[in-house]
Homo-oligomer: A and B are copies of this chain.
Protein backbone atom coordinates (compact mmCIF):
# COMPACT_ATOMS: atom_id res chain seq x y z
CA UNK A 1 0.00 0.00 0.00
CA UNK A 2 1.57 3.28 -1.11
CA UNK A 3 1.70 6.21 1.29
CA UNK A 4 1.66 9.85 0.17
CA UNK A 5 2.33 13.27 1.57
CA UNK A 6 -0.03 16.20 1.18
CA UNK A 7 0.64 19.88 1.77
CA UNK A 8 -2.07 22.50 1.93
CA UNK A 9 0.05 25.62 1.56
CA UNK A 10 -2.22 28.43 2.69
CA UNK A 11 -1.48 32.09 3.19
CA UNK A 12 -2.30 31.80 6.91
CA UNK A 13 -1.23 28.27 7.74
CA UNK A 14 0.28 25.17 6.24
CA UNK A 15 -1.28 21.75 6.83
CA UNK A 16 0.79 18.66 6.09
CA UNK A 17 -0.48 15.10 6.23
CA UNK A 18 0.74 11.60 5.46
CA UNK A 19 -1.58 8.85 4.30
CA UNK A 20 -3.55 7.54 1.38
CA UNK A 21 -7.19 8.50 1.96
CA UNK A 22 -9.44 10.35 4.45
CA UNK A 23 -9.68 7.32 6.72
CA UNK A 24 -6.06 6.30 6.31
CA UNK A 25 -4.04 9.20 7.66
CA UNK A 26 -0.93 8.35 9.67
CA UNK A 27 0.19 11.81 10.72
CA UNK A 28 -0.83 15.42 10.36
CA UNK A 29 0.66 18.73 11.40
CA UNK A 30 -0.34 22.36 11.02
CA UNK A 31 1.70 25.51 11.59
CA UNK A 32 1.42 29.22 10.77
CA UNK A 33 2.74 30.57 7.48
CA UNK A 34 5.75 32.74 8.36
CA UNK A 35 8.71 33.28 6.01
CA UNK A 36 9.10 31.00 2.98
CA UNK A 37 12.42 29.76 4.37
CA UNK A 38 11.06 28.76 7.76
CA UNK A 39 7.69 27.48 6.54
CA UNK A 40 9.05 25.32 3.74
CA UNK A 41 11.78 23.96 6.03
CA UNK A 42 9.17 22.87 8.59
CA UNK A 43 7.22 21.22 5.78
CA UNK A 44 10.27 19.35 4.55
CA UNK A 45 11.31 18.32 8.08
CA UNK A 46 7.88 16.80 8.74
CA UNK A 47 8.15 14.51 5.73
CA UNK A 48 11.86 13.76 6.17
CA UNK A 49 11.19 12.49 9.66
CA UNK A 50 8.75 9.99 8.14
CA UNK A 51 11.12 9.09 5.32
CA UNK A 52 13.73 7.96 7.88
CA UNK A 53 11.37 5.11 8.75
CA UNK A 54 9.10 4.57 5.75
CA UNK A 55 8.76 5.31 2.07
CA UNK A 56 6.68 8.15 0.67
CA UNK A 57 5.63 7.46 -2.93
CA UNK A 58 4.94 11.08 -3.82
CA UNK A 59 3.99 14.46 -2.38
CA UNK A 60 1.14 16.73 -3.44
CA UNK A 61 1.15 20.48 -2.84
CA UNK A 62 -1.95 22.66 -3.13
CA UNK A 63 -0.74 26.22 -2.76
CA UNK A 64 -2.03 29.75 -2.50
CA UNK A 65 -1.12 31.69 -5.62
CA UNK A 66 -0.79 32.99 -8.17
CA UNK A 67 1.31 30.07 -9.36
CA UNK A 68 3.29 29.21 -12.46
CA UNK A 69 1.78 25.91 -13.60
CA UNK A 70 3.18 25.79 -17.14
CA UNK A 71 5.28 22.59 -17.21
CA UNK A 72 7.72 24.05 -19.76
CA UNK A 73 8.25 27.32 -17.87
CA UNK A 74 11.57 27.92 -16.06
CA UNK A 75 9.48 29.11 -13.13
CA UNK A 76 7.16 26.09 -13.03
CA UNK A 77 6.20 25.45 -9.44
CA UNK A 78 6.79 28.99 -8.22
CA UNK A 79 4.45 31.17 -6.26
CA UNK A 80 4.75 34.24 -8.52
CA UNK A 81 3.37 37.75 -8.01
CA UNK A 82 1.65 37.32 -4.65
CA UNK A 83 1.20 40.45 -2.52
CA UNK A 84 1.98 38.26 0.53
CA UNK A 85 5.12 39.70 2.08
CA UNK A 86 8.28 37.75 1.24
CA UNK A 87 6.53 35.06 -0.78
CA UNK A 88 6.68 36.49 -4.31
CA UNK A 89 8.90 34.38 -6.57
CA UNK A 90 9.14 31.38 -4.23
CA UNK A 91 10.09 28.02 -5.75
CA UNK A 92 7.93 25.94 -3.46
CA UNK A 93 7.69 22.95 -5.81
CA UNK A 94 11.42 22.79 -6.51
CA UNK A 95 12.53 23.08 -2.88
CA UNK A 96 10.22 20.29 -1.75
CA UNK A 97 11.07 18.11 -4.73
CA UNK A 98 14.85 18.44 -4.23
CA UNK A 99 14.75 17.95 -0.48
CA UNK A 100 12.50 14.89 -0.46
CA UNK A 101 13.53 13.21 -3.71
CA UNK A 102 10.04 12.05 -4.66
CA UNK A 103 7.65 13.17 -7.41
CA UNK A 104 5.68 16.29 -6.43
CA UNK A 105 2.20 17.07 -7.73
CA UNK A 106 1.57 20.79 -7.69
CA UNK A 107 -1.57 22.89 -8.19
CA UNK A 108 -3.57 25.71 -6.66
CA UNK A 109 -5.09 25.23 -3.20
CA UNK A 110 -8.58 25.33 -4.71
CA UNK A 111 -7.79 22.87 -7.51
CA UNK A 112 -6.35 20.55 -4.86
CA UNK A 113 -9.53 20.89 -2.81
CA UNK A 114 -11.56 20.27 -5.96
CA UNK A 115 -9.59 17.10 -6.63
CA UNK A 116 -10.15 16.03 -3.02
CA UNK A 117 -13.90 16.44 -3.41
CA UNK A 118 -13.74 14.62 -6.77
CA UNK A 119 -11.83 11.71 -5.26
CA UNK A 120 -13.68 11.25 -1.96
CA UNK A 121 -16.40 13.87 -1.65
CA UNK A 122 -19.17 15.85 -3.25
CA UNK A 123 -17.81 15.77 -6.81
CA UNK A 124 -17.26 12.01 -7.07
CA UNK A 125 -17.95 10.80 -10.60
CA UNK A 126 -18.33 14.28 -12.08
CA UNK A 127 -16.41 15.43 -15.15
CA UNK A 128 -17.10 19.16 -14.97
CA UNK A 129 -17.65 21.01 -11.70
CA UNK A 130 -16.61 24.05 -9.70
CA UNK A 131 -15.19 24.26 -6.18
CA UNK A 132 -15.50 27.75 -4.73
CA UNK A 133 -14.27 28.90 -1.35
CA UNK A 134 -15.56 32.11 0.21
CA UNK A 135 -13.45 33.29 3.12
CA UNK A 136 -10.80 35.97 3.46
CA UNK A 137 -10.80 35.86 -0.34
CA UNK A 138 -12.77 34.03 -3.00
CA UNK A 139 -10.97 31.29 -4.85
CA UNK A 140 -12.25 28.82 -7.37
CA UNK A 141 -11.03 25.65 -8.99
CA UNK A 142 -12.59 22.62 -10.52
CA UNK A 143 -12.55 20.28 -13.44
CA UNK A 144 -13.60 20.39 -17.06
CA UNK A 145 -13.79 17.15 -19.02
CA UNK A 146 -12.39 15.21 -16.07
CA UNK A 147 -9.22 17.26 -15.66
CA UNK A 148 -8.36 20.13 -13.32
CA UNK A 149 -8.85 23.60 -14.79
CA UNK A 150 -5.68 25.10 -16.20
CA UNK A 151 -4.91 27.11 -19.29
CA UNK A 152 -3.00 30.32 -19.64
CA UNK A 153 -2.51 30.18 -15.87
CA UNK A 154 -5.24 28.97 -13.56
CA UNK A 155 -8.73 30.27 -12.76
CA UNK A 156 -9.03 33.45 -10.71
CA UNK A 157 -12.75 33.18 -10.01
CA UNK A 158 -12.62 35.71 -7.20
CA UNK A 159 -12.01 38.47 -9.69
CA UNK A 160 -15.12 38.11 -11.83
CA UNK A 161 -16.94 41.39 -12.42
CA UNK A 162 -20.52 41.37 -11.21
CA UNK A 163 -23.24 44.03 -11.16
CA UNK A 164 -22.96 46.38 -8.20
CA UNK A 165 -25.99 48.48 -7.34
CA UNK A 166 -24.32 51.48 -5.70
CA UNK A 167 -27.67 52.92 -4.61
CA UNK A 168 -28.48 49.90 -2.54
CA UNK A 169 -24.91 49.09 -1.56
CA UNK A 170 -22.61 52.13 -1.60
CA UNK A 171 -19.68 50.10 -0.23
CA UNK A 172 -16.82 50.55 -2.68
CA UNK A 173 -15.38 47.05 -2.44
CA UNK A 174 -12.33 45.52 -0.76
CA UNK A 175 -10.19 44.26 -3.65
CA UNK A 176 -6.91 46.16 -3.92
CA UNK A 177 -6.77 45.44 -7.68
CA UNK A 178 -10.40 45.83 -8.76
CA UNK A 179 -12.38 47.41 -5.93
CA UNK A 180 -15.83 45.93 -6.40
CA UNK A 181 -15.10 42.67 -8.18
CA UNK A 182 -16.73 39.44 -6.89
CA UNK A 183 -14.20 39.01 -4.08
CA UNK A 184 -14.19 42.72 -3.41
CA UNK A 185 -17.94 42.63 -2.77
CA UNK A 186 -18.49 39.20 -1.25
CA UNK A 187 -15.43 37.88 0.65
CA UNK A 188 -15.00 38.25 4.40
CA UNK A 189 -13.20 41.62 4.28
CA UNK A 190 -16.14 43.08 2.32
CA UNK A 191 -18.58 41.96 5.03
CA UNK A 192 -16.30 43.52 7.61
CA UNK A 193 -15.87 46.74 5.64
CA UNK A 194 -19.53 47.13 4.77
CA UNK A 195 -21.17 46.11 8.05
CA UNK A 196 -18.34 46.65 10.56
CA UNK A 197 -18.77 43.09 11.71
CA UNK A 198 -16.92 39.86 10.95
CA UNK A 199 -18.97 37.18 9.19
CA UNK A 200 -19.10 35.01 12.31
CA UNK A 201 -20.51 37.89 14.38
CA UNK A 202 -23.37 38.86 12.06
CA UNK A 203 -26.64 37.24 13.23
CA UNK A 204 -28.57 35.03 10.78
CA UNK A 205 -31.29 37.66 10.29
CA UNK A 206 -28.84 40.49 9.57
CA UNK A 207 -29.45 42.19 6.19
CA UNK A 208 -25.83 41.41 5.34
CA UNK A 209 -26.80 37.87 4.40
CA UNK A 210 -29.47 38.85 1.89
CA UNK A 211 -26.96 41.03 0.03
CA UNK A 212 -24.23 38.39 0.39
CA UNK A 213 -26.51 35.74 -1.14
CA UNK A 214 -27.24 38.10 -4.03
CA UNK A 215 -23.57 38.68 -4.82
CA UNK A 216 -22.66 35.02 -4.45
CA UNK A 217 -25.50 34.08 -6.79
CA UNK A 218 -24.29 36.58 -9.40
CA UNK A 219 -20.86 34.98 -9.31
CA UNK A 220 -22.30 31.47 -9.52
CA UNK A 221 -24.50 32.42 -12.49
CA UNK A 222 -21.36 33.57 -14.30
CA UNK A 223 -19.61 30.31 -13.54
CA UNK A 224 -22.66 28.34 -14.71
CA UNK A 225 -22.90 30.30 -17.98
CA UNK A 226 -19.21 29.79 -18.73
CA UNK A 227 -18.41 26.25 -17.62
CA UNK A 228 -21.81 24.56 -17.40
CA UNK A 229 -20.69 22.69 -14.29
CA UNK A 230 -22.56 19.55 -13.24
CA UNK A 231 -22.32 20.75 -9.63
CA UNK A 232 -21.00 23.69 -7.62
CA UNK A 233 -19.36 23.02 -4.26
CA UNK A 234 -19.15 25.91 -1.82
CA UNK A 235 -16.75 26.09 1.09
CA UNK A 236 -14.89 28.62 3.22
CA UNK A 237 -15.55 30.54 6.40
CA UNK A 238 -18.31 32.82 5.10
CA UNK A 239 -20.40 29.79 4.08
CA UNK A 240 -20.51 28.68 7.73
CA UNK A 241 -23.58 30.90 8.17
CA UNK A 242 -26.28 28.26 7.65
CA UNK A 243 -28.94 30.65 6.37
CA UNK A 244 -26.75 31.63 3.43
CA UNK A 245 -26.72 28.55 1.20
CA UNK A 246 -30.52 28.22 0.75
CA UNK A 247 -30.69 31.94 -0.12
CA UNK A 248 -27.89 31.55 -2.66
CA UNK A 249 -29.75 28.70 -4.34
CA UNK A 250 -32.98 30.71 -4.61
CA UNK A 251 -31.11 33.74 -5.95
CA UNK A 252 -29.39 31.63 -8.63
CA UNK A 253 -32.76 30.32 -9.78
CA UNK A 254 -34.22 33.82 -9.84
CA UNK A 255 -31.29 35.27 -11.76
CA UNK A 256 -31.28 32.49 -14.36
CA UNK A 257 -35.04 32.96 -14.69
CA UNK A 258 -35.66 29.58 -16.29
CA UNK A 259 -33.17 30.14 -19.09
CA UNK A 260 -31.08 27.08 -18.33
CA UNK A 261 -33.95 24.69 -18.41
CA UNK A 262 -32.62 21.56 -16.76
CA UNK A 263 -33.99 19.68 -13.74
CA UNK A 264 -30.69 20.08 -11.84
CA UNK A 265 -31.32 23.82 -11.63
CA UNK A 266 -35.11 24.07 -11.85
CA UNK A 267 -35.98 21.25 -9.45
CA UNK A 268 -32.93 19.81 -7.73
CA UNK A 269 -30.87 22.84 -6.91
CA UNK A 270 -30.31 21.52 -3.36
CA UNK A 271 -28.16 18.82 -4.94
CA UNK A 272 -26.66 21.21 -7.49
CA UNK A 273 -25.20 23.89 -5.22
CA UNK A 274 -23.84 22.03 -2.22
CA UNK A 275 -21.38 22.26 0.65
CA UNK A 276 -18.26 20.12 0.37
CA UNK A 277 -18.19 16.70 2.01
CA UNK A 278 -14.59 17.00 3.18
CA UNK A 279 -15.08 20.34 4.93
CA UNK A 280 -11.83 22.10 5.78
CA UNK A 281 -9.94 18.85 5.09
CA UNK A 282 -10.56 19.19 1.34
CA UNK A 283 -7.27 21.02 0.77
CA UNK A 284 -4.87 18.65 2.47
CA UNK A 285 -6.75 15.56 1.31
CA UNK A 286 -6.78 16.95 -2.19
CA UNK A 287 -3.02 17.41 -1.94
CA UNK A 288 -2.74 13.70 -1.15
CA UNK A 289 -4.92 13.02 -4.19
CA UNK A 290 -2.53 15.18 -6.27
CA UNK A 291 0.33 13.02 -5.02
CA UNK A 292 -1.54 9.83 -5.97
CA UNK A 293 -2.06 11.18 -9.48
CA UNK A 294 1.69 11.66 -9.83
CA UNK A 295 2.25 7.95 -9.41
CA UNK A 296 -0.71 6.84 -11.47
CA UNK A 297 0.19 8.79 -14.60
CA UNK A 298 -3.16 10.58 -14.75
Q: Are A156 and B222 interface neighbours, CB within 8 A? A: no
Q: Which chain A residues in 146-161 approach chain B with CB under 8 Å?
A: 146-147, 149-161
Q: Kindly state whether residue A197 has any CB partner on chain B within 8 Å.
A: no
Of B146, B180, B226, B260, the contact of A226 (CB 8 Å cutoff):
B226
Q: Kindly state whether residue A33 has any CB partner on chain B within 8 Å.
A: no
Stretch at the interface among A14-22, A188-196, A251-259, A284-292: A251-259
Q: Are A155 and B228 interface neighbours, CB within 8 A? A: yes
Closest to A66 in B: B261
Q: Kindly state whether residue A227 has any CB partner on chain B within 8 Å.
A: yes
Q: Which chain A residues in 217-241 approach chain B with CB under 8 Å?
A: 218, 221-230
Complex CA gap A265/B159 in Å reads 15
Determine how close the nearest CB of chain B comes to the CB of A81; give it in whole angstroms: 4
Q: Kindly state whether residue A164 has any CB partner on chain B within 8 Å.
A: yes
Q: Kindly state whether residue A145 has any CB partner on chain B within 8 Å.
A: yes
Determine how close the nearest CB of chain B comes to the CB of A80; give it in whole angstroms: 7
Task: Tell me how many chains of this kind the complex includes.
Answer: 2
Q: Kindly state whether residue A133 has any CB partner on chain B within 8 Å.
A: no
Q: Are B228 and A156 interface neighbours, CB within 8 A? A: yes
Complex CA gap A147/B265 in Å reads 24
A222: B residues at CB distance < 8 A: 160-161, 222, 226
Q: Are A151 and B258 interface neighbours, CB within 8 A? A: no
Q: Are A152 and B128 interface neighbours, CB within 8 A? A: yes
Q: Are A163 and B160 interface neighbours, CB within 8 A? A: no
Q: Kindly state whether residue A45 has any CB partner on chain B within 8 Å.
A: no
Closest to A228 in B: B151
Complex CA gap A67/B218 in Å reads 24
Q: Are A226 and B223 interface neighbours, CB within 8 A? A: yes
A81: B residues at CB distance < 8 A: 261
Determine how close the nearest CB of chain B comes to the CB of A49; give it in whole angstroms: 37
Complex CA gap A161/B214 in Å reads 12
Q: Are B177 and A259 interface neighbours, CB within 8 A? A: yes
Interface CB pairs A-B, < 8 A, 28:
A66-B260, A66-B261, A140-B226, A145-B145, A145-B146, A145-B147, A149-B228, A152-B262, A152-B265, A153-B260, A156-B228, A157-B226, A159-B221, A159-B225, A159-B256, A160-B221, A160-B222, A161-B221, A161-B255, A163-B164, A163-B180, A177-B259, A178-B259, A222-B222, A223-B226, A226-B226, A226-B227, A227-B227
For the A-B complex with A151-B229, A177-B258 known, give 7 more contacts whose Cβ atoms are closer than 8 Å.
Answer: A145-B146, A151-B227, A152-B228, A156-B259, A161-B218, A163-B163, A227-B227
